[in-house]
Structure 1
Amino acid sequence: MKKLLLIILLILIVAIGFIGIRFGSVLFQEENTTEIIASITKLEFTTNDYIKVTETSQRIRYVSKNKNGSQEKVINEFMQENGWQFKDQAGSGYIFEKDDETIVVEARLFTKNYFLWSVPREVFH
């Protein structure tokens, strides 16, 4: 019994150490870091380009892997699937148009390996 408890404790310590090393200083930069890390974990075990992190009455936030230029590609493909056309980029905002409507998708790095992006709910109407 003691041996099993010791093994479980060691696994827990290694897991916490891995999370600390992997995410380090970003653990406290967001108010819902646990949701983001849980979404990143899901993302690592799927072939999806993005995973939904949170949803509010105004925006839906996603997380994606940050690979050579993937930020723009992932966001553009997502928006095109929903009928929006890319028009311009202003800093960390991607501007899209559909009919006479214009929206901005905001993106920013969470870590060097992942980025968060927020989509206004109007995209789905």
Structure 2
Amino acid sequence: MDHIKKITITLIIVFVLGACLIVSNFGSALFQEGNPIPLIVSAMKLKISDSEYVQFAKTEKRNRYLSMNSENNQYEVVKEFMNSKGWKYQEQMGSGLIFSKNGEDAVVEVRQFSSHYFIWEIQKAFFN
């Protein structure tokens, strides 16, 4: 009985510490995008992999990605991604990055998610 009690207390402590780490990493941004589970899983994938971005949502109209902020140029990962698809970076206008290809313009919306991460969205119509 004493052994089960020790295991239970240990599990509770681990759970509380894990929850504190998640809240400290995301803070008030945790629920701004609705269900935080896909974003938390994506953030963990970014931490343990060499990838610069992770797709965390896919709808009929948009793909949404999560990337880590970098000290240099935080949107370089978006520019490289779009360049790999044949789109050329033009300029930034507000929270949108404007790209062009064959006389057509595409806007990638970017927004800060937390102090460590940002979210970017691309309309699927630009990749058909």
User: Could you state the TM-score of these two structures normalised by the residue count of structure 1?
Assistant: 0.93
Unaligned runs of 5+ in 2: none
Once superposed, what is the RMSD of the aligned Cα atoms? 1.2
State the secondary structure of the residue aligned to 2:75.
Answer: helix
Pair 1:21-2:24 in alignment = yes
Q: Which of 52, 61, 64 is the matching residue for 1:61?
A: 64
The separation in 2 between residues aligned to 1:105 and 1:17, in whole angstroms, is 33
In 2, Cα distance between the equivalents of 1:20 and 1:102? 38
Contact 2:95 2:111 in 1 (8 A): yes
Partner of 2:40: 37
Partner Cα separation in structure 1 for residue 57 and residue 91 of structure 2: 26
**Structure 2: distance between partners of 1:78 and 1:21:** 29
CA distance in 1 between counterparts of 2:74 and 2:126 reads 18
1:116 equivalent to 2:122? Answer no
| 1:105–1:117 contact (8 Å) kept in structure 2 | yes
Looking at structure 2, the residues matched to 16 and 30 of structure 1 have their Cα atoms a distance apart, in angstroms, of 18
How many residues align? The count is 125
Give the one of 90, 95, 118 matched to 2:93.
Answer: 90
Q: Using the aligned pairs only, state the percent identity.
A: 37
Q: Distance in 1 between matches of 2:5 and 2:17?
A: 18
Query: How far, CA to CA, are the matches of 1:72 and 1:21 in structure 2?
Result: 24
Structure 1 unmatched runs, 5+: none
Larger C-alpha radius of gyration, 1 or 2? 2
The amino acid of 1:124's aligned partner reads F
The answer to whether the 8 A contact 2:27-2:114 is kept is no
Structure 1 residue ranges, 4+ long, deviating more than 3 angstroms after superposition? none
Shift of 1:5: 1.6
Q: What secondary structure does 1:11 align onto?
A: helix
Per-residue CA deviation, residues 32-90 of structure 1 (Å, 9 max, x unaligned), is 32211111111111010000010111110000000124322101100011111111111
Select 1:73's aligned residue among 72, 76, 81: 76
TM-score of the pair, normalised by structure 2: 0.91
Which amino acid in the other structure matches residue 68 of structure 1? E
